[in-house]
Amino acid sequence: MKLSLWVMVCNGNQFLSSGLTNLNVEWLNSWTPTNTNTDIPRYAFNTSTSQQSDFTISDGSYFKARFIQIGYTLSTKLLSKARILSLRVYANTTNPFYLTKYKGFSPEVSNSYGVTTMGDDFRTYPVSGTARIGVNVTF
């Protein structure tokens, strides 16, 4: 049996999560004229301002499994009777999971606005994942 792993660790990274500002449940406790005893800033909507605060800074640390594969090669003693030189059965997956406290889709932040907005997660789409099962046979 053979196991292959490719993992990534990112620690201490911070970024703006401006695309998630309308998704945080914390906004239910934001400052209003009747709710002044809170540390959550006033929620503004329908405005042309785009000012940020440290409320939207998120911890970008994560542990990610990039690739996992497990496989088993059958004994040549068993295969010789069937005139097979080798037979290997395997399963693998790419990008199966993250371990992170980040609330958005993916802590691997990127957006299409270029270098002026690096480190700003503006509703980026997550990295896709795959899963495969296969057999390698040599006659």
Would you say residue 42 lies in a domain?
Answer: no
Instruction: Tell me what pLDDT residue 66 has.
Output: 95
Q: How does pLDDT run along the chain (139 residues), one tens digit per residue?
A: 999 999 999 898 887 776 655 666 777 888 888 988 988 777 766 655 556 667 778 888 999 999 999 999 998 888 888 889 999 999 999 999 999 988 777 777 666 566 666 666 766 677 889 999 999 999 9
Given a contact cutoff of 8 angstroms between Cβ atoms, the answer to whether 85 and 139 are in contact is yes
Residue type, 88: R
Residue 33 lies in a domain: no
Is residue 36 included in any domain, yes or no? no
Nearest Cα to 16, choosing from 48, 44, 51, 54? 54
Specify the pLDDT at position 20. Answer: 59
Q: Does 30 fall in a domain?
A: no
Count of domains for the chain: 1
In a domain, 67, yes or no: yes
Query: What pLDDT does residue 63 have?
Result: 95
CB contact at 8 A, 70 and 3: yes
Parent domain of 69: 2-17+58-138
Q: Is residue 88 part of a domain?
A: yes
Residue 117 lies in a domain: yes
